[in-house]
Amino acid sequence: MKFLSKLATLWICLALFPFTMQAADTGHATAEVAAEHAIEALEGSEAAHGGEHAEGEHHGLPPAAVPVFNLGPLQITNSMVATIIVAALLIFLAQMATKNIKEVPTGAQNFFEWIVETLFGFLEGIMGRDLVKQTFWFFASIFIFILATNWFGLIPGVGTVGWETSDGHFEPWLRGGQADLNMTTAMALAFFFLWTVWAIKANGIGGFFNHIFGNKGGGSGFMKIFMILIFFAVGILEVVSIIFRPVALSFRLYGNVFAGENILESMLMIVPSLGWLIPIPFYFLELLVGFVQALVFMLLTAVFTLLICQHHDEDHGSAH
């Protein structure tokens, strides 16, 4: 259990974070375009209302993460700072919980073991014991990381405390990690790479392509040729589906978290005198959404992995 806890938290810091920085180079342009459109919409709305805004009024969370400082040629954004903080906290808590392992766990050790055992049992019921033993480190890590990052983004001040630029745009010091498309894209691409590795490991290179393009309908003579053509066409559609999976995973998570954080701020500003009361129900709703989104991301990646490896685990269902 100590091994699983350390592996999960260390993977978050050592594997996900480099992918985040790598994805920033490719995803930043997309976010910048979205930001420009959002700014133009805000400016148009401002002009329609006479351009009168109260001093210090927030315009919601910007679509693109904001650079806060540089490390040489690398720009560190506010979402990356939040990601580093979350990863450091997870590692620290896991180290504290597993510092003095007891045969009968208590306190933090008991809590961490409960989380790991619950996740393992849950995924084992879906994927089978053999497959989950190979992939559990990823799925458990991704669930814990997304959940912690989502809830960290709900801490008062994250996304709402910052500075105003010379042109009057608000830029927060910290930003929820999953409210940055670069971060969600990095996780989706990390999964896509591991999915390919697991698929080739389970099927072999020939079996991997046969799984996608192979004739699964049998037949003989003309019918066999016809079925080969049909399943080849189906395989092409499957390849397109596989390519778009990281896109769907990244935008689903980003869209839900980004929208939730903006809804909270909208509820805060809609009636300033009741700003302390109106967001409370939405705040607890976002706690639930943060958990659901972490669970959905983990489940989708687990199911995608099962679908490509399931013929090696056909008997796992009878074991349950």
User: What is the average pLDDT across 124-132?
Assistant: 93
pLDDT at 184 over 70: yes
Choice between 49 and 161, residue whose per-residue pLDDT is larger: 161
Residue 38 falls within a domain, yes or no? no
Choice between 141 and 226, residue whose per-residue pLDDT is larger: 141
Would you state the pLDDT for residue 262? Answer: 86
Would you state the pLDDT for residue 266? Answer: 84
Task: Please spell the DSSP secondary structure of the chain, one letter per residue.
Answer: -HHHHHHHHHHIIIIIHHHHHHHHHHHHHHHHHHHHHHHHHHHHHHHHTTT---TT------SS--EEEEETTEEEEHHHHHHHHHHHHHHHHHHHHTSS--SS--HHHHHHHHHHHHHHHHHHHHH-HHHHHHHHHHHHHHHHHHHHHHHHTTSTTTTTSEEE-TTS-EEES---GGGSHHHHHHHHHHHHHHHHHHHHHHHHHHHHHHHHHS--S---HHHHHHHHHHHHHHHHHHHHHHHHHHHHHHHHHHHHHHHHHHHHHHHHHHSGGGTTTTHHHHHHHHHHHHHHHHHHHHHHHHHHHHHHHGGGSTTTGGG-
pLDDT at 286 over 70: yes
Would you state the pLDDT for residue 60? Answer: 67
Dist CA 203 CA 104 (whole Å)? 41
Residue 176 falls within a domain, yes or no? yes
Dist CA 251 CA 246 (whole Å)? 9
Domain total in the chain:
1
pLDDT at 312 over 60: no
Dist CA 32 CA 21 (whole Å)? 16
Residue 159: which of 76, 68, 65, 61 has the closest Cα? 61
pLDDT at 116 over 90: yes
Residue 160: which of 90, 83, 82, 85 has the closest Cα? 82
Residue 39 falls within a domain, yes or no? no
Would you state the pLDDT for residue 64? Answer: 83
Q: Give the contacts of 319 (CB within 8 A, at least 6 positions apart).
A: 128, 129
Residue 138: which of 187, 96, 184 has the closest Cα? 187
Residue 33 falls within a domain, yes or no? no
List phi, psi (to 5°) of 208: -60, -50
User: What is the average pLDDT across 96-115?
Assistant: 89
Residue 35 falls within a domain, yes or no? no
Range of the domain at 283: 2-28+54-319
DSSP bridge partners of 76: 69
Instruction: Tell if the pTM clears 0.85, that is, is over it.
Output: no
**Mean of pLDDT over the chain:** 80
pLDDT at 249 over 90: yes
pLDDT at 300 over 50: yes
Q: Kindly state the percentage of the chain with pLDDT values over 70.
A: 77
pLDDT at 199 over 60: yes
Residue 46 falls within a domain, yes or no? no
pLDDT at 317 over 70: no
Which two tokens mark 140?
A: 């458990």
Choice between 187 and 280, residue whose per-residue pLDDT is larger: 187
> Long-range CB contacts (< 8 A, 24+ apart) of 70-74?
74/21
Query: Which range has highest mean pLDDT (18-27, 196-205, 223-232, 258-267)?
Result: 196-205
Query: Which range has highest mean pLDDT (49-58, 59-68, 131-140, 212-221)?
Result: 131-140
Q: Give the contacts of 56 (CB within 8 A, at least 6 positions apart).
A: 164
User: What is the average pLDDT across 8-30?
Assistant: 43
At residue 167 the predicted structure's pLDDT band, cuts being 50, 70 and 90, is: confident
pLDDT at 303 over 60: yes
Which two tokens mark 132?
A: 């989950």
Question: Which of 148-152, 160-164, 195-199 is predicted with the least confidence, judged by mean pLDDT?
Answer: 160-164
Would you state the pLDDT for residue 158? Answer: 86
Would you state the pLDDT for residue 21? Answer: 43
What digits encode the pLDDT tens for the residues 21-75?
444 444 444 444 444 444 444 444 444 444 444 444 445 677 888 888 888 888 8
Residue 214 falls within a domain, yes or no? yes
Which two tokens mark 81?
A: 């700072």
Which two tokens mark 191?
A: 């999964």
Residue 261 falls within a domain, yes or no? yes
The answer to whether the beta carbons of residues 172 and 78 sit under 8 Å apart is yes
Choice between 32 and 182, residue whose per-residue pLDDT is larger: 182
pLDDT at 256 over 80: yes
Query: Which range has highest mean pLDDT (217-221, 223-227, 303-307)?
Result: 303-307
Cα angle for residues 73, 88, 163 (degrees, 5° grid): 55
User: What is the average pLDDT across 271-295?
Assistant: 89
